[in-house]
């Protein structure tokens, strides 16, 4: 392990900033519900010895909808962890683990969180293989060329054939696999893992859970540990794996074509050390980020960051929020001033929340790759860029065309103005998208996952005392419309006023009753582009 730190962080040629950046690994865990993400997260945190608490950032109370998996850990195991980002140190490296909420349902939050990571760990239940949600999240990672490390979990239970599992990853995700470890014995007879790269076996019983060198145990010796083990079959299999596996190629991994695979049991804290070691060794340092002006290198000394998530604060009476910003370059120090590029105004970062430090003390500085929480009263929006004065916007924080569109019906018509304000806030926070029809009809809300509607309803009620119902609207689909030719766009909008709405930024959206109408209109709208993803930062 020690070679990781020396080859990255401690190289003498690096500036202090570059050395700090090189120590960072910012990642998320992607998985289908129940594959073991929560359990693995907990074990990773314990490895890092960093159960960290930043009190204000916890999601509100017992509200089911926004509760993150980390809060589940907190509740169930009585430990306190911060939501949204968790930072821990291990072997000289700083790991920032970003939470992707693990509901069955998709939310835009999940997608956006993946814009803020440099790599991802894909957790697969050994008995189930690739499941729907894993696949969907994987596709998002692929779009962004995020390298993936695979952890095949629950090896202590009956699993599917291991070769078959790898084959499934290769075929369904079009991703090459390199097993870094290999299970010895299966299910109840699972003894541990073989280190494919260095040889030796790490045993489940007897210290195997901890990181450290695998023991050089002869396969024959293993039979003494478990009489059910078919020694010659194990030997054949290991020979096959060692000879037939694709060798690990760092470049192919970094480009997202190959995944190193680790086997283990999060529940038994087995294989987690291997995984962490793999993350440290292979996962990329903070990457350069695209902006509308230039590519911003992480080691650029001028601080820059973008907001990828907004979380309402604990106290519903004070509408303060925490904006989670990923630092893309330079160093952020407490008290510094940053320029909010969207408004051109300067804002003091007087009390940014840093989620590191093992002893819960609040750090005073953060570096590219880190995530900071910035308390604000609605100044910051999703997709906002903060700089040290420069004018550029980071691109690639997306809005997705909603899969569900609803009309919001107020049960108290007197509160229409309040509803308008509340919906504006909720859309700025990214809870839902709000579309205001140009013909003056009541606002529509659009979501990617149905759960977002539950969140909206609960929050409107709790924070604004606005009881609302959702009605099915005549519109089912929404697409952003744009054109290189401003005149053409204006003509299109004028001809379709009753189907045009403005989004939160005032950008025009075409609302369609169904796919047929959409197709029909699109075919006839020459020169008009219909898109189902809007880059929050690419305005105009
Ligand atoms: P998720 O966040 O991906 O949804 O999964 P979570 O960690 O909550 O794990 C889902 C279930 O799988 C839990 O059981 C958990 O204990 C179990 N599990 C996780 N990792 C392993 C493993 O390596 N081996 C085995 N055998 N089980 C594992 P549960 O009964 O649903 O919840 P709980 O009451 O145990 O917390």
Residues 65-81 as b/e (b if ≥16 CB within 10 A, e otherwise) read bbbbbbbebbeeeeebb
Q: What is the reported pLDDT for 203?
A: 84
pLDDT at 435 over 90: yes
User: Binding site for GTP: which residues?
Assistant: 31-38, 99-103, 153-156
Q: Which atom of ligand 1 sits closest to the CA of residue 40?
A: 7
pLDDT at 361 over 50: no
CA 186 to ligand 1 center in whole angstroms: 18
Residue 123 pairs in a beta bridge with 31, 151
CA 126 to ligand 1 center in whole angstroms: 12
Total Cβ atoms within 10 A of residue 143: 15
CA 310 to ligand 1 center in whole angstroms: 29
**DSSP assignment of 34-87:** TSSHHHHHHHHHHHHT-----GGGSPPTT-GGG--HHHHHHHHH-----SSEEE
CA 36 to ligand 1 center in whole angstroms: 5
Residue nearest to atom 17 of ligand 1 (CA): 36
Q: Which atom of ligand 1 sits closest to the CA of residue 31?
A: 3
Total Cβ atoms within 10 A of residue 490: 12
> Is-same-fold flag (2-16+29-81+105-283; 398-538)?
no
pLDDT tens for each residue of 3-22:
444 444 444 567 999 999 99
CA atoms of 523 and 532, how far apart (whole Å):
16
CA atoms of 17 and 327, how far apart (whole Å):
13
Give the chain's mean pLDDT.
83
**DSSP assignment of 133-191:** HHHHHHHHHHHTT--EEEEEE-TTS----HHHHHHHHHHHH--EEEESEEEES-GGG--
Residue nearest to atom 29 of ligand 1 (CA): 34
Domain 2-16+29-81+105-283 has CATH 3.40.50.300: yes
pLDDT at 438 over 90: yes
pLDDT at 75 over 80: no
CA atoms of 384 and 305, how far apart (whole Å):
8
User: What residue ranges line ligand 1, CB within 6 angstroms?
Assistant: 31, 33-39, 69, 102, 153-154, 156-157, 265-267
CB 310 within 8 A of CB 428: yes
pLDDT tens for each residue of 245-291:
999 999 999 999 999 999 999 998 889 989 999 999 999 999 999 99
Give mean pLDDT, residues 132-146: 88
Distances (CA, A) of 346 to 243, 321, 336, 361, 386: 59, 18, 10, 27, 9
**398-538: which CATH architecture?**
2-Layer Sandwich (3.30)
Instruction: Pull the structure tokens for residue 44.
Output: 């990773």
Give mean pLDDT, residues 222-230: 81
Q: Domain extents for the chain?
A: 2-16+29-81+105-283, 290-387, 398-538
Smallest CA-to-CA distance from 411 within 361, 355, 469 is with 469
CA atoms of 391 and 132, how far apart (whole Å):
41
CA 492 to ligand 1 center in whole angstroms: 53
Q: What is the reported pLDDT for 79?
A: 38
Q: What is the reported pLDDT for 222?
A: 80
Residues 304-330 as b/e (b if ≥16 CB within 10 A, e otherwise) read bbbbbbbbbbeeeeeeebbbbbbbbbb
CB 22 within 8 A of CB 186: no
CA atoms of 216 and 72, how far apart (whole Å):
39
Q: What is the reported pLDDT for 46?
A: 79
Q: What angle do CA 318, 323, 325 make, to 5 degrees?
A: 165
Give the position of tokens 């945190």: 45
Distances (CA, A) of 180 to 47, 162, 200: 20, 13, 12
pTM for this model (two decimals): 0.82
Q: Which CATH class, in words, describes the domain spanning 290-387?
A: alpha beta
């Amino acid at each position: 392990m020690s070679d990781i730190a020396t080859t990255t962080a401690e190289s003498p040629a690096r500036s202090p900033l570059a050395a700090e950046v090189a120590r960072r690994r910012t990642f998320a865990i992607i998985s289908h519900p129940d594959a073991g993400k929560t359990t693995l997260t907990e074990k990773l945190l314990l490895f890092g010895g960093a159960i960290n608490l930043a009190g204000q950032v916890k999601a509100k109370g017992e509200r089911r909808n926004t509760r993150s998996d980390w809060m589940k850990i907190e509740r169930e195991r009585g430990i306190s962890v911060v939501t949204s980002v968790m930072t821990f140190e291990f072997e000289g490296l700083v790991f920032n683990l970003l939470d992707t909420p693990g509901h069955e349902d998709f939310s835009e939050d999940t997608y956006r969180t993946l814009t803020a990571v440099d790599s991802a760990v894909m957790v697969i239940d050994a008995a189930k293989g690739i499941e729907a949600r894993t696949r969907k999240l994987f596709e998002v990672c692929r779009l962004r060329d995020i390298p993936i490390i695979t952890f095949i979990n629950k090896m202590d239970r009956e699993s599917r054939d291991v070769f078959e599992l790898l084959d499934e990853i290769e075929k369904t995700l079009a991703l090459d696999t390199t097993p870094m470890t290999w299970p010895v014995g299966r299910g109840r007879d699972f003894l541990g893992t073989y280190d494919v790269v260095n040889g030796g076996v790490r045993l489940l019983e007897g210290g195997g859970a901890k990181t450290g060198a695998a023991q050089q145990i002869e396969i024959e010796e293993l039979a003494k540990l478990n009489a059910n083990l078919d020694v010659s079959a194990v030997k054949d299999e290991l020979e096959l794996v060692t000879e037939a596996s694709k060798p690990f190629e760092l470049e192919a991994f970094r480009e997202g074509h190959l995944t190193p695979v680790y086997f283990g049991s999060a529940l038994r804290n087995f294989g987690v050390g291997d995984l962490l070691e793999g993350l440290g060794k292979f996962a990329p340092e903070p990457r350069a980020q695209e902006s509308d002006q230039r590519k911003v290198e992480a080691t650029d000394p001028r601080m820059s960051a973008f907001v990828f998530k907004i979380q309402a604060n604990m106290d519903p009476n004070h509408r303060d929020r925490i904006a989670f910003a990923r630092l893309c370059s330079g160093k952020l120090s407490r008290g510094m001033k940053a320029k909010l590029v969207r408004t051109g105004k300067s804002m003091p970062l007087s009390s940014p929340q840093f989620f590191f430090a093992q002893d819960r003390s609040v750090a005073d500085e953060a570096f590219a790759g880190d995530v900071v929480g910035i308390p604000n009263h609605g100044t910051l929006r999703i997709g906002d860029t903060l700089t040290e004065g420069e004018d550029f916007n980071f691109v690639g924080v997306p809005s997705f065309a909603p899969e569900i569109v609803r009309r919001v019906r107020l049960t108290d018509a007197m509160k229409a103005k309040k509803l308008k304000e509340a919906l504006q806030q909720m859309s700025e926070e990214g809870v839902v998208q709000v579309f205001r029809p140009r013909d003056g009809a009541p606002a529509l809300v659009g979501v990617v996952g149905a759960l977002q509607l539950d969140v909206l309803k609960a929050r409107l009620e709790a924070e604004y005392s606005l009881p609302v119902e959702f009605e099915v609207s005549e519109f089912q689909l929404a697409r952003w419309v744009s054109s290189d030719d401003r005149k053409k766009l204006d003509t299109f909008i004028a001809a379709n006023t009753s189907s045009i709405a403005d989004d939160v930024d005032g950008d025009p959206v075409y609302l369609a009753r169904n796919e047929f109408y959409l197709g029909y209109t699109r075919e006839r709208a020459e020169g008009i582009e219909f898109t189902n993803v809007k880059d929050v930062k690419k305005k105009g």
